[in-house]
């Protein structure tokens, strides 16, 4: 039996490998005396029953996480659910899956061809969400997927690993607002996702979010290395609801724009 800290450790290692911004942002905040607290971790998958949202979630439900709210992103053909731990100090887990039936027959066959390559023991592994890419993929196949879905192309190339970690702005002590943090990051040379404005959501939504743009990473495809967008870092500030409790869900309109942090320009 592996522990929750062990799971978070392999997730963080799998993430920082593909997020060039993560370590420098950590270091900058630490230099200001800040302690970084994770608000949530986001993961992606295909809706193939062999590897869908529920299969990925098993690594977390085995550690005491429980399913909470569901979300639908019609224009990107995504379904998502977030999970919370009984210990509210643990990060929330946000898992989305691509509804592949919304795409062309050729696209669906390509995705099936990837999942067909999975070794039988992979879906039940405790560290599945941090395994990386368990299938071979050519750059041409990647581009063919990308013609219909940026999300699918990214997932096919990168595999199972956190798409982003999210710093809780509420837990930072030296920034009065998310915009103050954004200005600090930009002044230090980090590019933010401006799709739908740099800050997604409002205090009325109970959640404000911003994110870096995914840095470029080199991925080896079956026909050699190519550069694609990697992972990104997100920042979330939560507000209390009418009962005084901090809102713990997600705002679909904001998350929809945040998904575009791994699109290629
Ligand atoms: Ni997020």
pLDDT average, residue stretch 6-32: 94
Tell me, what's the pLDDT at 265?
Answer: 47
Angle value at C-alpha 23, between 35 and 202, nearest 5 degrees: 60
Burial category of 188 from C-beta neighbours within 10 Å (exposed 0-12, middle 13-18, buried 19 and up): exposed
Residue 3 Cα, ligand 1 centroid: separation in angstroms? 23
Domains of the chain: 4-262 (3.10.180.50)
Residue 175 Cα, ligand 1 centroid: separation in angstroms? 20
Of residues 265 and 183, which shows the higher confidence score? 183
Could you tell me which residues come within 8 angstroms of residue 220 by beta carbon, excluding any fewer than 6 positions away?
Answer: none
Q: How far, rounded to the nearest angstrom, does the alpha carbon of residue 119 sit from its chain's CA centroid?
A: 24
Read off the pLDDT of residues 196-243 as tens digits, 9 standing for 90 and up.
Answer: 899 999 999 999 999 999 889 999 999 999 999 999 999 999 999 888
* pLDDT of 167 over the 50 cut: yes
Residue 220 Cα, ligand 1 centroid: separation in angstroms? 26
Residue 139 Cα, ligand 1 centroid: separation in angstroms? 27
Residue 236 Cα, ligand 1 centroid: separation in angstroms? 8
- The Cα 189–Cα 171 span in angstroms is 23
Residue 115 Cα, ligand 1 centroid: separation in angstroms? 25
- The Cα 229–Cα 88 span in angstroms is 32
Q: How far is CA 158 from CA 48, 75, 171, 191, 200, in A?
A: 17, 22, 30, 21, 26
pLDDT band at 15 (very low <50, low <70, confident <90, very high): very high
Tell me, what's the pLDDT at 16?
Answer: 94
- The Cα 112–Cα 252 span in angstroms is 28
Residue 244 Cα, ligand 1 centroid: separation in angstroms? 23
Percent of the chain at pLDDT above 70? 99
Tell me, what's the pLDDT at 257?
Answer: 73
- The Cα 55–Cα 48 span in angstroms is 10
Q: How far, rounded to the nearest angstrom, does the alpha carbon of residue 190 sit from its chain's CA centroid?
A: 18
Task: Break the chain down into helix, strand, coil percent, rounded to 5.
Answer: 35, 25, 40
Read off the pLDDT of residues 83-107 as tens digits, 9 standing for 90 and up.
Answer: 999 998 999 999 999 999 999 999 9
pTM of the model: 0.93
Residue 120 Cα, ligand 1 centroid: separation in angstroms? 30
Residue 75 Cα, ligand 1 centroid: separation in angstroms? 18
Residue 254 Cα, ligand 1 centroid: separation in angstroms? 9
Residue 124 Cα, ligand 1 centroid: separation in angstroms? 25
């Amino acid at each position: 039996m592996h522990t929750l800290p062990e799971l978070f450790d392999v997730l963080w290692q799998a993430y920082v490998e593909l997020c060039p911004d993560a370590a420098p942002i950590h270091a900058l905040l630490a230099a200001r005396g800040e302690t970084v607290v994770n608000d949530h971790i986001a993961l992606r998958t295909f809706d193939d029953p062999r590897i869908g949202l529920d299969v990925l979630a098993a690594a977390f439900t085995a550690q005491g996480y429980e399913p909470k709210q569901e979300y639908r992103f019609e224009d990107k053909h995504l379904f998502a659910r977030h999970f919370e731990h009984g210990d509210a100090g643990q990060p929330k887990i946000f898992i989305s899956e691509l509804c592949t039936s919304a795409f062309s027959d050729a696209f669906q066959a390509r995705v099936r061809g990837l999942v067909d390559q999975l070794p039988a023991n992979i879906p039940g592994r405790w560290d599945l969400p941090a395994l990386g890419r368990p299938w071979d993929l050519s750059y041409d196949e990647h581009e063919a997927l990308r013609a219909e879905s940026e999300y699918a192309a990214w997932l096919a190339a990168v595999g199972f690993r956190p798409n982003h970690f999210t710093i809780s702005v509420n837990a930072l002590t030296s920034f009065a607002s998310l915009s103050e943090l954004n200005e600090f990051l930009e002044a230090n040379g980090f590019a933010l996702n401006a799709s739908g404005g740099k800050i997604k959501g409002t205090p009325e939504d109970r959640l404000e979010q911003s994110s870096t743009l995914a840095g470029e990473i080199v991925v080896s495809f079956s026909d050699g290395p190519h550069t694609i967008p990697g992972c990104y870092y997100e920042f979330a500030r939560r507000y209390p609801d009418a009962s005084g409790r901090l809102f713990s869900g997600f705002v679909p309109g904001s998350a929809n724009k945040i998904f575009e942090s791994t699109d290629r320009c």
